[in-house]
Amino acid sequence: MRFGQWLGLIATAAALVLLWSLREVLVLVFAAVVLAMAICTLVGVTQERLRCNRPLALFISLGGLLVVVVLTTAVVVPPFVAQFQELLRQLPAALQLAMQLLRRTLDQSSQMLYGREALQWLQKSWLSQGSGSLDPTEGFLKLLGIAGNLGSGLVELLFVVAVSLMVAIQPQAYREISILLVPSFYRRRFRDVLTLCGEALSSWMAGVLISSLCVGVLAAIGLSLLGVKLVAANALLAGLLNIIPNIGPTLSTVFPMSVALLDSPVKALLVLLLYVVIQHIESYLITPSVMHHQVKLLPGLTLIAQFFFTVIFGPLGLLLALPLAVCLQVLVREVLIQDVLNGWELPMAER
C-alpha cells in the first residue's frame, strides 16, 4: 500500500473511533431528527388542510403543540402525578404480599417433597436474607445519583427539543447539508433515499400514535370494568410503553397487577389476562389496520434491533430502536442491496 492509502486507512479508523466515542451525542441528534420529522409531518398536514404557506403552517402547528402541552400539563399531569405517587406507595405492599404468597407456596412444596427439615432450612434462609439493614449514607448517595441522572436527562431533553425546532424551521437547509457529505456522483440518489427514510418515519410515527391511543383506551375501559384503582395512571402507562415493542407491553402489566394484587390474586390474574387480550388485539387487528403503509419489520428483527441498540446506546437506544431499525432497513434496501449488490456483474469468463 502507498503512503496515501495508509493515510486514508488511518483517517478512516480514527473517524470510526471518534464516532464510537460520540455515539451518545449521535443518538440524541437522531432523536431530535425524529421529533423534527414529527413536527414537519404536522406542518405538512396543516399546510395541506388550510392551504396556507409553510411559515404560517409552522406557526399554527407549533402554537397548537404548545397549547396541547400546556393543557395536558395543567389538566392531566396533576391527577396523574397524584395517582402515580399512590401507585408507588402501594407497590411495596403488593410486593410484600407476592413474596408472602411465594414463600407459602415454597414452604408447602418443600414440606411435601422433602419434609420439615427442608422447610426449616428455607425459613432460616428467608430470615437471613431479610436481616440486612439499610445504610443511611448509601441511601443518600443513591439519592444524589438519581438527582444527577434527572439533571442530565433534563439537559438532554432540552438539547433534543432545541435541535428539533431548529431542524423543523429549515428542514431543506439541513437536508442539503447532509447530502453534501456524500460523494457528488451519489447525491441525487441519496436525496431520494432520504425522502424514503422520511416517509417511513412519518408512517411509523402516525401508526404508533394511533396504536398507543387505542391501547390506552382499551386498558382504561378494561381496568374500569375490573374495578382496579388508578385507572388513569395505568392506562397512560400502557399507551406510553406501547411505543416500545415486546418489552413495553410487558412492563405496563407490572403496575396494574401490583395494585390488583392488593385486593385479591384472582383480580391480578384477570388484569394479566386483560393485558394479554389487549396486546393480541393491538398486534393482530389495530397495527395491521393503521400501519398498512408502514415499512414492515419482522418481529425477530425488531427484537434484535432492540437488543443491539440498547447495548450500544443505552436506555435511549431502546426507545429509539424502532425508528433506527426503520431507517436502517430503508438504507440497507436502497443503498446496500439496490445500488451496491444488485449492481455487481460477473465477468464474461465466469458467466
In this predicted structure, what is the pLDDT of residue 147? 54
Largest CA distance in the chain: 82
Per-residue burial over 244-272, b = 16 or more CB atoms within 10 Å of its CB, e = otherwise: bbeebbeebbebbbbbbbeeeeebbebbe
What is d(CA 288, CA 211) in angstroms, rounded to the nearest whole number?
A: 10
What is d(CA 249, CA 231) in angstroms, rounded to the nearest whole number?
A: 16
Q: Residue 99 is which amino acid?
A: M
What is d(CA 2, CA 230) in angstroms, rounded to the nearest whole number?
A: 70
User: What residue spans of 115-246 are helical by DSSP H?
Assistant: 116-129, 136-169, 171-180, 187-226, 231-241
Band the pLDDT of 1: cuts 50, 70, 90: low
Residue 310 pLDDT greater than 80, yes or no: yes
> What average pLDDT does this structure show over 243-260?
80
CB 260 within 8 A of CB 270: yes
What is d(CA 242, CA 293) in angstroms, rounded to the nearest whole number?
A: 19
What is d(CA 331, CA 302) in angstroms, rounded to the nearest whole number?
A: 16
Three-state SS string over 240-309 comes to HHCCCCCHHHHHHCHHHHHHHHHHCHHHHHHHHHHHHHHHHHHHHHHHHHHCCCCCCCCHHHHHHHHHHH
Q: Which grid cell is 285?
A: 387487528
31 compared with 132, residue with greater pLDDT: 31
Residue 34 pLDDT greater than 60, yes or no: yes
Query: Tens of pLDDT along 216-237?
Result: 899 999 999 988 877 887 888 8
- The 3-state DSSP composition of the chain as helix, strand, coil percent (nearest 5) reads 85, 0, 15
Q: Which grid cell is 186?
A: 451519489
> What average pLDDT does this structure show over 292-302?
64
> What average pLDDT does this structure show over 249-271?
82
In this predicted structure, what is the pLDDT of residue 288? 65
Residue 250 pLDDT greater than 50, yes or no: yes
In this predicted structure, what is the pLDDT of residue 132? 47
